[in-house]
Structure 1
């Protein structure tokens, strides 16, 4: 499972943005594209229906090694064995949530100004959301905080923060230029016909700005993975690109990622992440 510090892209469910497509289908595509964290945000389901969604997403994220967060509902987060709970300013206090959950859950909270962010940090939040940066249908009527608050958070906040609200490949560069290095998206991902592609685009933007921070060229970031038991540094973004870089794409090989078989047809959609365990197995057919 991922460490929070290593997470860069956070995607929140938004079933209203993908009518006719299943929740798990959309969120699995987001994870394939590079989403590190998935949050279940559902203001209409209750009781057994909400818990069933949480457990299904828990199983999905566990299979892919992504973190899973439940919005607002601490009890559902605990019962579904989520990695964390995300609170709003008017929800359960951070201290009370920590008392009830102990060390079992990460605790995140939405913030809309620097005072709230500093208070969340003092209260023991593991991460905060900073936003909404731009107007967003997810938070109708809430005034955007603009990139000025992002810049303040980048200068003053030491725990991880995710910029949220109107985040898309088109707006990401301005938010990253303000100092964010973690992004959170909802409609841009879940409302897309290709959630994986949007996630890949957002992860590329983040990687480019991190490369600039390190004084390197945008996009020139190596990822370390294990390939057939050997430590490999690669700049491949997908399983297909990795196979091509190793001269295996044209051979009769099967692939596994973190113990799960990946059909060749999906190689171009499966993102490579640091720490992945990849196995390429030569296929020998019988007559």
Structure 2
């Protein structure tokens, strides 16, 4: 099992940004507490996704942060990214593990305890659970209760990161739940000061994890 720090997990959204601004936002976030970075591109061609993955990997590795590719095992392998994150409609974790080997990171989305346990059994290194709140992204999401999130955290041994519409104003809904961290998109990508946003969220994540561990 690969050791994963999900404390502050940034999932990218490039839609509104020119390339230079997109990369600048990511770099500022990496400088200020992001511990895991997921490149999510739903509409790029395979070649464009690959080329962007190489550019983002260069930044991520400069700051010693693993790069995870959303959905696409082929892109993750071609770009030699650190891992891949798989949804319920993507390749099974076990198939991705056979293709990627034991040393790559594989994350999985899980909305139920059953899905979480199955992903862990198949070899997932961490889970993303949500959406805790509605999101601004184009990804279609189904809301997940904090009770379900807690049950998943307590059922598995691998890290669980909460995801979905989380920001500095609402993230304390996770207080007391033994999450390993949380994922954000808009809270950093759309911030006028992404570095400052990341720094604040990293501090909040540490507080939430400390509270969860006390239970």
Q: TM-score, normalised by structure 1?
A: 0.69
Q: Which moved more, 1:154-163 or 1:12-21?
A: 12-21
Counterpart of 1:103 in structure 2 is 102
Counterpart of 2:83 in structure 1 is 84
Query: 2:30 aligned with 1:31, yes or no?
Result: yes
Q: Is the 8 A contact 1:17 1:187 kept in 2?
A: no
Q: Which moved more, 1:11-20 or 1:174-183?
A: 11-20
Q: 1:161 to 1:213 in 2, by over 3 A?
A: closer
Superposition CA RMSD, Å: 1.9
Q: 1:107 to 1:213 in 2, by over 3 A?
A: closer
Counterpart of 1:142 in structure 2 is 141
Query: How far 1:181 moved relative to its partner?
Result: 3.1
Query: How far 1:79 moved relative to its partner?
Result: 1.5
Gaps of 5+ in 1: 216-287
Counterpart of 2:57 in structure 1 is 58
Counterpart of 1:130 in structure 2 is 129
Q: Which moved more, 1:135-144 or 1:85-94?
A: 135-144
Alpha-carbon distance in 1 for matches of 2:119, 2:195: 32
Query: How far 1:107 moved relative to its partner?
Result: 0.7
Alpha-carbon distance in 2 for matches of 1:36, 1:4: 12
Q: TM-score, normalised by structure 2?
A: 0.91
Counterpart of 2:40 in structure 1 is 41
Alpha-carbon distance in 1 for matches of 2:180, 2:93: 24
Larger radius of gyration: 1
Structure 1 SS opposite 2:175? helix
The runs of 4+ residues in structure 1 deviating greater than 6 Å are none
Superposed CA offset, 1:5-32 (max 9, x none): 3441110111125468622111111111
Alpha-carbon distance in 2 for matches of 1:39, 1:75: 15
Q: 1:77 to 1:214 in 2, by over 3 A?
A: closer
Compare relative contact order (CA 8 Å, sep 6+) and give the higher one, 1 or 2: 2
Query: How far 1:196 moved relative to its partner?
Result: 1.3
Superposed CA offset, 1:74-115 (max 9, x none): 111111111101111011111111111112421111111111
1:194-273 equivalence runs, <5 A: 194-212=193-211
Q: 1:73 to 1:20 in 2, by over 3 A?
A: closer
Q: Is the 8 A contact 2:161 2:181 kept in 1?
A: yes
* Count of matched residue pairs: 213
Q: 1:211 to 1:159 in 2, by over 3 A?
A: closer
Structure 2 SS opposite 1:70? strand
> Which structure shows the bigger proportion of residues in strand conformation?
1
